Structure 1
């Protein structure tokens, strides 16, 4: 009997894991944004001293893991599992970092939802008694994502206003079986939702239906209301996706606007010319492990619904005319049990 399951898609943890540390590395553009003071490391060069952007991204992933270990005063040998992924084919940023880290590794691909996918699975491992320490980590890079999913940067293709700017960065979280919190108390696993969007330059519209579905399911499964949360935060809807999400929820009787923020909107200033906002697997990861954890630790927010969203496309699927499936995974972060 699934005694920890609520409703159709949600888990309530009996032994909620504690978030004991978060680590962040971001690129130069992110370091010029409004959240600059909350990042642990800001690169001055997005090649990070490497010969390619892909190598730079993998190095960011590895260094984010080492950084969060140092903040938690732990060694890599203390970690039971690393759960990590990124946006690149065969998740090479995470896998190539893991070969250097020498730690049991589950490679994940949830596109930009990977951060909360890793935190959900990590919380399940700890709650189930299979681990004491878990690292969930992910990365992305503007230049690696653009040339894989869209166009070679050398072509200088003009970006439409619905497009988003992939965050260059990496974020890592350590979950522990013991600690003073904040805690992951619930997790709602999303379904793949696809309403037919085919434009790879409009990720917000592709992901919004999945985001709405997960939020509605979360409230139905748990019995929580909007008022139970201090903040409801999505990973990278951007301005276009935000408006669609709010409209979809409002039609179903959920008005979350007064409690709502999006990582992709918060990480950049409008003057930085990112069009609809930020995106990428690192978008939610660096905002969560930087700004949001700081706000929670300082008592600004006591209970947060945090949800990373992903567009599950590939270059092959786009070239074959496929639409873009979306997914969203949500976790409840609470300072109390």
Structure 2
């Protein structure tokens, strides 16, 4: 019999899975954004010394995972499991990173929701007593995503104003059964929601309904107060998707406007960096959480945070077959306990 569930969708973790470290790596454009001081490593160029963008992305997430372990004083052989994924076919970057790290590996796909999905699964495994140390992380790269989902960069295609800029970045967290740090307290697993959006250049509108569904489910299950949070951060809805989420949650009786932001807005300067609606990609919420948000939690400037990473589960094949865009969002609530 399940003893850790609250309501229909939310899990309350009882054994205090603790985020004991986090690390982030970003590209040059992201390093010029407003949160640059919080990233562990800012690359000088998008290739990171590799022969392809895909290998560069793999090296980025590998670096983030190594740094997270090092910051906690752990060796790779101390880690029980590695959980990761990305946007690229067959999880190329994550799988190649796992090949180098030689840690037992779960490859997951949640598109841009992968950071929160990995944290959910890691926390469940820790809380259930199946592991003591789990590295979880994800990545994205502007050039790899454009090559797979859109057009060759050489074409120089213009983007509509609803489009977002895929973040070149990676983030990783080390979650432990013991140690100092903020703890994962609740998680709400998302349903796949599809409201009929078929425009791959309007991802904020496509993903916002999934974020709304998951956030509403959490508050409906727990009866928590939105204003008890220091921050509620969605993954990569951008400016348009954030506004949709905020407005429609208000219609459902949940006002998060005082504490709400979106990682796609935080990672870039929307006025100066010409990214249209903001950032997107697995590395968007990963780098902002592992950099900015985790730093604030660790220093007790934030004491209660909800991360809701959002993912669009389309593929090049589904797009060519004229399918609409199914989306998902997973929520993780992290707290500093006295």
User: Structure 2 length as normaliser, TM-score?
Assistant: 0.98
Cα distance, 1:70 vs structure 2: 1.1
* Cα deviation code 1:169-216 (max 9, x no counterpart): 111100000122200001000000000000001110000000000000
| Structure-2 residue corresponding to 1:222 | 222
| Structure-2 residue corresponding to 1:307 | 308
Q: Does 1:96 align with 2:96?
A: yes
Alignment of 1:115-134 (within 5 A): 115-134=115-134
| Structure-1 residue corresponding to 2:247 | 247
Cα distance, 1:228 vs structure 2: 2.1
Distance 1:183 1:98 in 2: 26
Cα distance, 1:301 vs structure 2: 1.2
| Structure-1 residue corresponding to 2:330 | 329
Distance 2:288 2:61 in 1: 15
| Structure-2 residue corresponding to 1:293 | 294
Please tell me the root mean square deviation across aligned C-alpha atoms, in Å: 0.8
Q: Does 1:262 align with 2:262?
A: yes
| Structure-1 residue corresponding to 2:171 | 171
Retained in 1: the 8 A contact 2:227–2:258?
no
* Cα deviation code 1:254-313 (max 9, x no counterpart): 111111011100110021000000000010011001100111122221111111000000
Alignment of 1:22-37 (within 5 A): 22-37=22-37
SS in 1 for 2:233: strand
Distance 1:181 1:59 in 2: 27
Distance 1:139 1:147 in 2: 15
| Structure-2 residue corresponding to 1:18 | 18
Question: After the TM superposition, which segments of 4 or more aligned residues of structure 1 sit over 4 Å from their partners?
Answer: none
Distance 1:137 1:167 in 2: 15
User: Structure 1 length as normaliser, TM-score?
Assistant: 0.99
Q: Does 1:193 align with 2:193?
A: yes
Distance 1:158 1:174 in 2: 39
Cα distance, 1:222 vs structure 2: 1.3
Segments of structure 1 that go 5 or more residues without pairing to the other structure are: none
Distance 2:99 2:180 in 1: 32
Distance 2:213 2:58 in 1: 32
| Structure-1 residue corresponding to 2:141 | 141
Retained in 1: the 8 A contact 2:79–2:134?
yes
Alignment of 1:157-168 (within 5 A): 157-168=157-168
Q: Count residues in correspondence.
A: 337
